[in-house]
């Protein structure tokens, strides 16, 4: 090839689709979308569009790694590609499948206080049911209280939004497959209140230069959440992120907090960190 072509190839390294070097594995409703969008403020991060669901859905997994790679965005060498699929956290096969792809991958696990997470999950399921219902007018939805308690007054542990908040039931599998240092636990409640310190921890964890700062955020009073700003514009997450939660009977909240107390302790022991959730 003419020397100029060689030179230009050297000066302009080509972008390519690369397998992710970091994955947000969950937990659903803990701020997985916010986390991915916030990390994308960093110039060395590229994010996959949507949720890829490669490792948790057999029909995707069976398509192989090349299919997965093609779902990834273009990136330059040195950039970090990230995807998020919150159901990875709760799907038993996933840790081993991710390890088989890349045993040194970095994993981000974002969690929230379990009762808040359960109510957020309930709120989303109710919103989806309302739009999907063929019956019009839709029958009144069951309340969170009705779904969370059995007729005898004990906690309905089989109710999915409550079960997913028992984090230790899932995290132990990840810790059996990955060394603790490869998993960063992100506090989703703190990410809502004050995102920058959380993001700075993640930059360190990912080995990135500190680039995300207060200049990247502004608080939107109407939304009640921080919105994101880059060089050119500002934007909030969609209205499905930051939904108004229904009022839940404080007696039920107290009962659930007590229930999660013991589960949270088990979670803290497994991860070697105390998140200080109220009991
Ligand atoms: P709520 O809608 O219940 O408030 P996920 O993306 O995993 O589904 O998580 C959704 C949650 O992200 C929202 O739950 C919201 O609390 C949280 N979140 C965190 N930071 C946010 C932000 N800056 N804007 C909107 N929602 C944010």
pLDDT in tens, 154-189: 999 999 999 999 999 999 999 999 999 999 999 999
Handedness of CA 240, 246, 252, 255 (dihedral sign): positive
pLDDT of residue 143: 98
pLDDT of residue 135: 72
Confidence class for position 113, pLDDT limits 50, 70, 90:
very high
- Note whether 206 and 36 are within 8 A (CB): no
Instruction: Examine the residue annotation and report whether 255 is marked as an active-site residue of this protein.
Output: no
**123 labeled part of a ligand binding site:** no
ipTM exceeds 0.90 = yes
Ligand 1 centre distance from Cα of residue 81 (Å): 22
**148 labeled part of a ligand binding site:** no
- Note whether 55 and 92 are within 8 A (CB): no
Closest Cα to atom 1 of ligand 1: 242
Residue with tokens 């709760």: 90
**241 labeled part of a ligand binding site:** yes
Lookup: tokens for 169: 């039931």
Q: Which atom of ligand 1 is nearest to the CA of 119?
A: 3
Ligand 1 centre distance from Cα of residue 276 (Å): 20
Ligand 1 centre distance from Cα of residue 262 (Å): 26
Asked if residue 111 has its Cβ within 6 Å of ligand 1, the reply is no
Active-site position among 29, 71, 106, 255: 29
Domain chopping of the chain, boundaries: 15-271
According to the 3-state scheme, what is the secondary structure of the chain?
CCHHHHHHHHHCCCCEECCCCEEEEECCCCCHHHHHHHHCCCCCEEECCCCCCCCCCHHHHCCCHHHHHHCCCEECCCCEEEEECHHHCCCCCHHHHHHHHCCCCEEEEEECCHHHHHHHHHHHHHHHHHHHCCCCCCCCCCCHHHHHECCCCCECCCCHHHHHCCCHHHHHHHHHHCCHHHEEEEEHHHHHHCHHHHHHHHHHHCCCCCCCCHHHEEEECCCCEEEEECCCCEECCCCCCCCCCCCCCHHHHHHHHHHHHHHHHHHHHHHCCCCCCCC
| Rounded distance between C-alpha atoms, residue 98 and residue 80, angstroms | 16
What percentage of the chain reaches a pLDDT higher than 70? Answer: 95
Burial class (CB in 10 A: 0-12, 13-18, 19+), 123: middle
**243 labeled part of a ligand binding site:** yes
Q: Which of 214, 241, 211 is nearest to 228 (CA)?
A: 214
41-68 pLDDT, tens digit per residue, is 999 999 999 999 999 999 999 999 999 9
pLDDT of residue 14: 78
Ligand 1 centre distance from Cα of residue 121 (Å): 11
Q: Which atom of ligand 1 is nearest to the CA of 226?
A: 23
Min mean pLDDT across 12-16, 208-212, 228-232 is at: 12-16
**242 labeled part of a ligand binding site:** yes
CATH level 3 topology of 15-271: Rossmann fold (3.40.50)
Closest Cα to atom 6 of ligand 1: 33
- Note whether 155 and 255 are within 8 A (CB): yes
Q: How many CA atoms lie within 13 A of 25 on its CB side?
A: 31
The separation between CA 214 and the C-alpha centre of its own chain, rounded to angstroms, equals 22
Closest Cα to atom 12 of ligand 1: 31
Ligand 1 centre distance from Cα of residue 241 (Å): 5
Asked if residue 79 has its Cβ within 6 Å of ligand 1, the reply is no
Longest alpha-carbon distance in the chain: 82
């Amino acid at each position: 090839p003419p020397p100029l072509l060689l030179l230009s190839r050297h000066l302009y390294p080509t972008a390519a689709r690369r397998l992710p070097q970091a994955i947000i594995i969950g937990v659903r409703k803990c701020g997985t979308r916010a986390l991915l969008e916030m990390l994308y403020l960093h110039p060395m991060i590229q994010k996959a569009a949507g949720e890829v669901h490669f490792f948790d859905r057999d029909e995707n997994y069976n398509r192989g790694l090349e299919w997965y790679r093609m779902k990834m965005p273009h990136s330059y060498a040195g950039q970090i590609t990230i995807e998020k699929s919150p159901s990875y956290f709760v799907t038993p096969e996933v840790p081993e499948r991710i390890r088989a792809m890349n045993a040194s991958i970095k994993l981000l696990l974002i969690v929230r206080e379990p009762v808040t997470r359960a109510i957020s999950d309930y709120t989303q399921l109710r919103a989806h049911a309302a739009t999907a219902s063929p019956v019009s007018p839709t029958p009144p939805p069951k309340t969170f209280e009705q779904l969370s308690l059995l007729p005898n007054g004990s906690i309905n542990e089989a109710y999915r939004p409550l079960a997913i908040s028992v984090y230790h039931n899932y995290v132990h599998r990840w810790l059996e497959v990955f060394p603790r240092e490869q998993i960063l636990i992100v506090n989703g409640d703190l990410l809502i209140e004050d995102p920058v310190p959380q993001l700075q921890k993640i930059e360190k964890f990912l080995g990135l230069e500190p680039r995300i700062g207060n200049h990247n955020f502004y608080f939107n009073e109407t939304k009640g959440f921080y919105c994101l700003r880059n060089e050119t514009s500002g934007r909030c997450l969609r209205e499905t992120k930051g939904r108004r939660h229904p009022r839940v009977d404080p007696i039920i909240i107290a009962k659930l907090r007590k229930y999660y107390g013991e589960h949270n302790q088990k979670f803290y022991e497994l991860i070697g960190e105390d998140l200080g959730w109220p009991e």
